[in-house]
Structure 1
């Protein structure tokens, strides 16, 4: 599962984005909402980016992994009709293929959104409530309430869970990267002190992973251990995060080994990233995973965020990536699926209501993708949507505030043509 920063946009786009992120910062100061570094996979692979983002691939929301707060329900959604009982149950339609899930926030676990989740998915992931800043905002001080609500809801409704995410360069509290004196580890130049900082950071990471995995190992079956560590535009193809600058790839090894030790052999451990269908980024990730496996690092699978749009990427590219990692004996999961109505660098707005022809294009593309996944069901164990309905999606305010409709259910929680395309087989 999972995620933006284009230095070439003109001033109006920059201004719009600044306003969006300012709003996001204010919003985040009061609760744990979407945040981070990610953008949808709306960039063509050749699109150059700045700010440490891939020169060959789109950023995630991990997005998504997520770059802005989810949209509030529209006034129309307040009086939405009941969940339609006559349409097929989404997860049930895929019972012979793979799990179907959705990312959620704790406040979606009651009311109409909860009813939609209960009817249509059998797998949940926390959109933000299990990211590092939500888990341990201050060293030694863990906050469990929001994460526990999601775990309890899943257990009460017979749903499985995946964890997102133990290690990420975004939404990680700054205390991780401070030395004993409170200085920034990354600024240290003395070799001996740099080595001491590395050991301290890895010790903190081991403690964090051990504590979190130990708490939820009985309830969560699949875990995003590290998220978004590949960046083709950075040296060696590794994202030049504080994690990497201080420890090299040591943080990846430490996190996976700690998770296995704390969780035992039954939980499944994943490395998660966006734009894994891009050949350049995919091959760097493949090389890293292969090297880790040869060192005995316990990686069970690869999470493919899969933030796509109406035109990019080709379905064949997605399948090719799943095939490649399958050759290593690994599982694949699609972890943050949504489909933007807009291609990269298109800052237009379709208007308050999405035109029917666009909804039909979206349906055809969703239908094509799921037909390909059904045909190769041996390649993956689950598909996780980054949300359940269009009234709550990070894309509504990223890269600008506008109408978005990336999921299978509309703002009134009714099935869209895309739903029919995915279930009508």
Structure 2
């Protein structure tokens, strides 16, 4: 009987130790889970993608202040000025520059150790009319236009030398009309294709260390992709100082397809150029090019169905981006949150869009968590 009592007592002791150990393990698991959740809350997009490429965002003067600035610093490690460095805003008259807002954004980048892209030196829109007009009211000569363009590029690029690591030198020079090659613009009408070549040459001379990019939209759509490729190949073959191509990712839940995206990345990188996604947002509406009025029966509700489709689109895009991490040198979102997007005004004025990873309250959307949920892939 004594032996039985000893065995019973030993069994009870072992059971008690087992229960205590189990409770401790559960407690440890809960603590580890809590720590992991806390760590995840502290991490931003830039941290999740630190082994892949920098994650950037387009900013305005208001974005680098207050609550939005804090979100920016937490989530991103690169910025692009949305408007203030375009020729019209920064150089409105031949002998006058507006440096204040551009300087504020550049100072913010320096103070917070952020990479900075410059956007954009030469574009057919947001360009002061003065650059094309002669003193007699007619059009300037090709020589005069190129001289004025050089002065602009020298002034702007030199001012931000050492802060801006990459420039969109020429923006959207390919025609939307598939029957044409280069876009009909005053740049092209006066200077022909030389305005593109000279813009890159002037930018290289102004800052030999900056990366120089050609930037365009619909760069994934096959027929325009092929014409962009043709332009890039021409520049490379002529030894024009170009380092990369910027793909404006103004996409939607309806496209592009994975196959189209991969094909474009393969084609552009085959030229030995870096590739960046420069203006990423994912609209919940089908693509429309022309400005139009909002229809009376047109809804702009962000339904669960649209939310799911957007999540799936972002998931696919970033899966492809990760596969091409050796090709892509940056991914930049075009605006910070759904609180403000240029797509709220174009192509339909006043129609709310929800194209980004942060909602109108600057909180992470479901698509955000899908974009960063790739731990198994890394392991």
For residues 24-423 of structure 1, the aligned pairs below 5 Å read: 86=41, 88-185=43-140, 197-233=141-177, 236-264=180-208, 266-344=209-287, 349-351=298-300, 354-400=302-348, 401-423=350-372
1:65 aligns with none
Measure, in 2, the Cα distance between the counterparts of 1:368 and 1:258: 38
- The verdict on how the C-alpha distance between 1:256 and 1:410 changes in structure 2, with shifts beyond 3 A counting, is same
- 1:371–1:85: structure 2 CA closer, same or farther, 3 Å change rule? closer
Measured after TM superposition, the shift of residue 217 of structure 1 is 1.5
Contact 1:232 1:280 in 2 (8 A): no
TM-score when normalising by structure 2: 0.84
Task: Name stretches of at least 5 consecutive residues in structure 2 with no aligned partner.
Answer: 1-38, 289-293, 375-379
Alignment: residue pair count: 329
Determine which structure has the larger helix proportion and give its number.
2
SS in 2 for 1:288: helix
The superposition leaves residues 312-369 of structure 1 with CA deviations (integer Å, 9 ceiling, x where unpaired) of 2112212211111111110000000001111135966444x52222112111110111
Give the equivalent residue in structure 2 for 1:194.
none
Runs of 4+ in 1 over 6 A off after TM superposition: none
CA distance in 1, matches of 2:302, 2:224: 33
Of the structure 1 ranges 341-350 and 121-130, higher mean CA displacement relative to structure 2 is found in 341-350
Structure 1 residue ranges without an equivalent (≥5): 1-83, 186-196
| 1:103 CA drift (Å) | 0.3
Q: Distance in 2 between matches of 1:85 and 1:323?
A: 33
Give me the TM-score of the superposition, normalised by structure 1.
0.75
Structure with higher RCO (Cα < 8 A, 6+ apart): 1
The structure with the larger Rg is 2
CA distance in 2, matches of 1:372, 1:250: 35
d(CA) in 1 for partners of 2:229, 2:367: 32
Q: Label 1:386 to 1:202 Cα distance change in 2 as closer, same or farther (>3 A).
A: same
CA RMSD of aligned residues (A): 1.7
CA contact (8 A) 1:88 1:423 kept: no
